[in-house]
Amino acid sequence: MNAEQFMRWWICFGQEVHAHLDDLNELDRAIGDGDHGTNMDRGLSKVRELWSLPKTPVENLLELSKTTGMTLLSTVGGASGALWGSAMVQASQKLPVQGTCTTETQIAWLDAIVASMENRGKARIGDKTMIDVLRVGVDILIKGDPPSFSERLNTVASSAREWSEATRSLIAKRGRAAYLGERSQGHVDPGSFSAALWWECLNRAMGE
């Protein structure tokens, strides 16, 4: 992964969240406070602004991950801002300050992002959260089957929405939806849907 792919990925993520703003808010209205789309959209548009300023192009992957995280921390708010923000800051240490990173490093970094979210949010697979899409995806990338990274990433990107859809039948164990208990069943977790968009954009950015 190089800096340009990183930025293309996050710009795509911001655009996709913006395009699904109403869907994400709608999902969140059912089992949360109805602002997941608005919050993520606000933060991701700040991330885009950061890179459009007239200054030397950012080529430092570590710095890109870190500043993306710090921006999300101070602009998204709520659990998503806290989880995405701290994960991007903490995992940034895995990335090089110069040049591109190898596929192995990229996978280790993606794993660190998800591990940070798991630690901070104390969520596991099956809790009806973003982890249901993120952990399953990272584990496929880690396992190395099929051997081609781009094939694995393709699988992850094309399955991500199904994994998000599968949160519908789950009972929320973490986050505000957990207060609803069994009444959270029948609704897709909004964080899992935005996480699916994130995988799709990574696949797109890496393919270009």
Binding-site ranges for other proteins (CB under 8 A): 33, 35, 39, 70, 73-79, 81-83, 85-86, 89-90, 120-121, 174-176
Peptide bond into 54 cis (omega under 30): no
Nearer to other proteins, 74 or 169 (CB): 74
Nearer to other proteins, 76 or 101 (CB): 76
Nearer to other proteins, 75 or 155 (CB): 75
Output the smallest distance, CB 192 to other proteins, in A: 17
Torsion, Cα of 131, 76, 41, 126 (10° steps): 10
Nearer to other proteins, 35 or 111 (CB): 35
Output the smallest distance, CB 85 to other proteins, in A: 7
Helix (H, G, I), strand (E, B) or coil at 174: coil
Output the smallest distance, CB 203 to other proteins, in A: 28
Output the smallest distance, CB 111 to other proteins, in A: 19
Output the smallest distance, CB 191 to other proteins, in A: 12
For residue 88, which of 31, 50, 38 has the smallest C-alpha distance? 50
Please measure the distance between the N-terminal and C-terminal CA atoms of the chain and give it in whole angstroms.
Answer: 11
Nearer to other proteins, 90 or 106 (CB): 90
DSSP string, 73-125: HHHT-HHHHHHHHHHHHHHGGGS-SSS---HHHHHHHHHHHHHHHHHHH---T
Nearer to other proteins, 5 or 65 (CB): 65
Q: What's the residue count for the chain?
A: 208
Output the smallest distance, CB 176 to other proteins, in A: 7
Helix (H, G, I), strand (E, B) or coil at 8: helix
Q: Tell me, rounded to whole angstroms, the distance of Cα 39 from its chain centroid.
A: 14
